[in-house]
Structure 1
Amino acid sequence: MFWCTAPFLLAAILLLPLLARPPELTGWVILGAVVLLCLFVLIGLWNAERFWWCWRAVGGIVAGGYLAYLISMIAEGQWFGDGRRSSSTAFNALMGLIVFGYPGFMWAVFGRFTRKPEPEYDDYTDKSTDIDEMDAGAGG
């Protein structure tokens, strides 16, 4: 996966700041976030175990982006737009925050998509050593 995507990610990291000239500060912030996102994905794909924090940063950037999108649309008063599904509206921003932002936040904070930690497995028996399961079986 790394060698298939690395040339495109490197090209984006190097060329986007040279090719894009946003007229406003907001555009520069978005450009910086996209370049950072590409950099973190590139490093995370290179060695996921060593650079585990890169994937958390990717989740945080995605969650922060959708939160900023929602705040921007609320500030502009664009609640439902003109009826097109592709419109930039607070409703679409909220849907994006739920579908992409919340999982990104969970990954950034917990390193997984659920609050409950994964059960530990015994290497010899391949059975779960989850304490809750052991307590439930011991009672009766």
Structure 2
Amino acid sequence: MRLEDHLSYEALEFWFADNGENLERDISEVHVICILYCKDYQIDFSVDVFGANGTKGLPVYSEVIPIESDKVFPGQMVSPLFVAEIFEERVLRLFSEKGLQIHWNPGCSSMAEINPLNPDPSMELPPEEDHGL
């Protein structure tokens, strides 16, 4: 059953406003539709759900997770497995504690480029030599 089949905006707003304390009261499934954004060695997770009419609803969970800078480099792609590992550890556990089942559909959000706002100069590639071509 799709979330929008049995959830009203009122229930969604109540769930969000209640900060997750009464998840089991109104929701039996949550569909994660946007989870990842990487910038400045951080992963910003956000979990959104669909509203009653099928449109994108409210964000119901978000967390900023630092990435150890010695494990990634500017411009490196974050693998879906790395994302899934953190997602499962943080987000799935949060909702499973509330008795909810989450179906993760990463879609195009499963990869993200890391572009630090303040890159470490020691990690930059040396400039290419000009051979006068």
Normalising by structure 2, we get a TM-score of: 0.24
Highest relative contact order (Cα 8 Å, sep 6+), 1 or 2?
Answer: 2
**Which structure has the highest helix share of the two?**
1
TM-score (norm 1): 0.23
Structure index of larger Rg: 1
